[in-house]
């Protein structure tokens, strides 16, 4: 297992030996090693909340079926002395009510689909954050274990020199304390990795899965700016599209409610038999909109349309602000991470080698050797913390620009 903190860092393996695949509750076989894009596709297919959200579209399709149905006929039968009557009445919406209901229901399907897509984007963003946390947690554990091995080697050197009488017992006592401390840090890293793995598993809903996140620790959106991303975001951002669909539905419902105020005549035909013989009865009945002309329903629809318009404007403004914030933060994270790597991280290997050589030759103190091992470990962890914040900021930019789409986020995957 070879890896480096300089340049591109690639995760090669995890510590635990686990099966090469697992299975979801729906029967899908999951790989042990998974990259970000493949993971998001797995989440999209198997996340229980997303599966439940998709049923809202089926419910909206049911509303469309209900809107397209004609009213049921009414059969009446009466009997009096020397008289029998049977009549069939059929309400017929001749003023276009059914067509408008269907248009409104179709827009309802579109609005529901847009809401589901917006909720899916948020779930995928959260899942991507969990994936990045797992990817970095794996790398942190390897760094802690590497430091633990280095401290163990240094511990053997110190013990040997103390036994040979060239070093004091203080050196051994100090090394024992630091060795215990670094082992504790490695144990904490294992606990953090277990927690990160559990969050990834929860996002998929596959309790038996034990995934290994595979990918690089380098950003791909190094030149992200608000002006360049908003051109794409304003037409593709799920939250904006959902707000636009909601407003279109609300506007159409005003027209639907106004047309529903028009009466629906019912045409009837029947047979009448009395003492004079049999007769055919033909008639029509219609409601007279004298008192109730659906004023309340129309007013409610108009208010909802105004609300939808204001919400659309608010969503667009919030989306612009969020994208500005995300791109600015990403630029800051990139600059900070690069500066730290150049100013601190690249110098650590030489510092560690000099400290080990100095102590082995009897020129350096135990404190210098311990400090070099600790400095490398801690600075690498700081760099990984900065890298995690950078990659999380990149996820936020993708979400804010409407780019949280499985199948397109492959840049951070190993090949």
What pLDDT, in 10s, does the model give residues 31-84?
A: 999 999 999 999 999 999 999 999 999 999 999 999 999 999 999 998 888 888
Cβ burial, residue 174 (10 Å; 0-12/13-18/19+):
middle
The pLDDT of residue 354 is above 80: no
pLDDT tens per residue, range 124-146: 999 999 999 999 999 999 999 98
The pLDDT of residue 372 is above 60: yes
pLDDT at 207: 84
pLDDT at 355: 65
For residue 103, what are the contacts with CB-CB under 8 A and spacing of at least 6?
252, 256
Higher pLDDT, 378 or 362: 378
- What are residue 84's DSSP bridge partners? 79, 273
Which residue carries 């962890």 as its tokens? 381
Average pLDDT, the chain: 85
Mean pLDDT of the 5-24 span? 44
Higher pLDDT, 300 or 351: 300
Cα gap 337→136, rounded to integer Å: 14
The pLDDT of residue 165 is above 80: no
The pLDDT of residue 320 is above 60: yes
Higher pLDDT, 103 or 343: 103
DSSP string, 94-153: TTSHHHHHHHHHHHHHHHHHHHHHHHHHHHHHHHHHHHHHHHHHHHHHHHHHHHHHHHHH
pLDDT at 54: 93
pLDDT at 298: 94
Instruction: Identify whether the C-beta of residue 238 lies closer than 8 Å to the C-beta of residue 402.
Output: yes
- What are residue 88's DSSP bridge partners? 75, 269
pLDDT at 356: 63
Mean pLDDT of the 323-334 span? 94
Instruction: Identify whether the C-beta of residue 131 lies closer than 8 Å to the C-beta of residue 36.
Output: yes
CA dihedral 61, 67, 73, 74 (to 10 degrees): 100
Q: Which of 392, 324, 30 is nearest to 206 (CA)?
A: 30
- What are residue 74's DSSP bridge partners? 89
Q: Quote the percentage of the chain above a pLDDT of 70.
A: 85
pLDDT at 3: 41
Cα gap 340→349, rounded to integer Å: 15
Instruction: Identify whether the C-beta of residue 372 lies closer than 8 Å to the C-beta of residue 351.
Output: yes
Query: Distances from the Cα of 40 to the Cαs of 68, 128, 322, in angstroms?
Result: 37, 7, 22
The pLDDT of residue 247 is above 80: yes
Positive/negative CA dihedral, 39, 45, 46, 49: positive
Cα gap 143→264, rounded to integer Å: 76
The pLDDT of residue 373 is above 70: yes
pLDDT at 206: 86
Higher pLDDT, 136 or 174: 136
Q: In CATH terms, is domain 21-33+44-286+308-400 a member of 3.40.1180.10? A: no
Q: Quote the percentage of the chain above a pLDDT of 90.
A: 54
pLDDT at 172: 80
Cα gap 203→201, rounded to integer Å: 5
pLDDT tens per residue, range 80-115: 888 889 999 999 998 999 999 999 999 999 999 999
pLDDT tens per residue, range 274-300: 878 888 989 998 988 888 888 999 999
Q: Which of 134, 135, 133, 131 is nearest to 42 (CA)?
A: 131
Q: How far is CA 150 from the centre of its chain?
A: 40
Cα gap 104→113, rounded to integer Å: 14
Rg of the Cα trace of the chain? 35
Cα gap 245→254, rounded to integer Å: 15
Higher pLDDT, 162 or 228: 228
Q: How far is CA 242 from the centre of its chain?
A: 16
pLDDT at 366: 65
The pLDDT of residue 15 is above 60: no
Q: Model-level pTM?
A: 0.82
pLDDT category of residue 361 using cuts at 50, 70 and 90: low
The pLDDT of residue 21 is above 60: no
Domain boundaries, the chain: 21-33+44-286+308-400
């Amino acid at each position: 297992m070879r890896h480096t903190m300089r340049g591109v860092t690639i995760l090669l393996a995890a510590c635990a030996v686990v099966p090469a695949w697992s299975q979801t509750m729906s029967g899908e076989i999951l790989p042990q090693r998974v990259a970000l894009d493949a993971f998001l596709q797995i989440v999209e297919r198997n996340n229980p909340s997303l599966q439940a959200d998709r049923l809202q579209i089926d419910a909206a399709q049911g509303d469309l079926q209900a809107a397209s149905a004609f009213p049921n006929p009414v059969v009446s039968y009466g009997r009096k002395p020397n008289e029998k009557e049977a009549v069939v009445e059929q309400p017929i919406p001749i003023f276009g009510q059914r067509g408008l209901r269907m248009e409104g229901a179709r827009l309802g399907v579109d609005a529901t689909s847009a809401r589901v897509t917006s909720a899916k984007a948020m779930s995928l963003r959260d899942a991507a954050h969990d994936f990045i946390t797992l990817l970095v947690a794996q790398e942190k554990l390897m760094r802690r274990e590497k430091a633990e091995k280095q401290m163990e080697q240094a511990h053997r050197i110190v013990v040997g020199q103390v036994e040979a009488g060239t070093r004091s017992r203080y050196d051994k006592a100090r090394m024992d304390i630091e060795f215990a401390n670094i082992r504790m840090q490695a144990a904490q890293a294992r606990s953090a990795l277990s927690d990160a793995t559990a969050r990834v598993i929860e996002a998929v809903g596959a309790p038996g899965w034990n995934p290994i996140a595979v990918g690089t620790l380098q950003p791909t959106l190094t030149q992200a700016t608000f002006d360049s991303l908003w051109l794409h975001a304003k037409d593709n951002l799920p939250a904006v599209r959902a707000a636009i669909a909601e407003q279109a539905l609300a506007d159409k419902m005003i027209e639907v409610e106004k047309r529903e105020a028009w009466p629906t005549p019912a045409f009837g035909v029947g047979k009448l038999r009395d003492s004079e013989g049999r007769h055919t009865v033909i008639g029509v009945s219609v409601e007279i909109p004298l008192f109730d002309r659906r004023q309340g329903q129309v007013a409610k629809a108009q208010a909802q349309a105004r609300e939808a318009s204001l919400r659309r404007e608010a969503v667009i403004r919030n989306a612009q602000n969020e994208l500005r914030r995300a791109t600015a933060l990403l630029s800051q994270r990139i600059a900070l991470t690069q500066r730290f790597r150049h100013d601190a991280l690249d110098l650590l290997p030489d510092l560690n080698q000099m400290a080990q050589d100095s102590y082995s030759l009897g020129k350096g103190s135990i404190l210098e050797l311990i400090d070099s091992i600790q400095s490398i470990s801690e600075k690498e962890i700081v760099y990984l913390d900065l890298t995690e914040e950078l990659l999380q900021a990149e996820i936020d930019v993708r979400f804010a620009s409407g780019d949280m789409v499985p199948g397109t986020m492959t840049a951070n995957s190993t090949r």
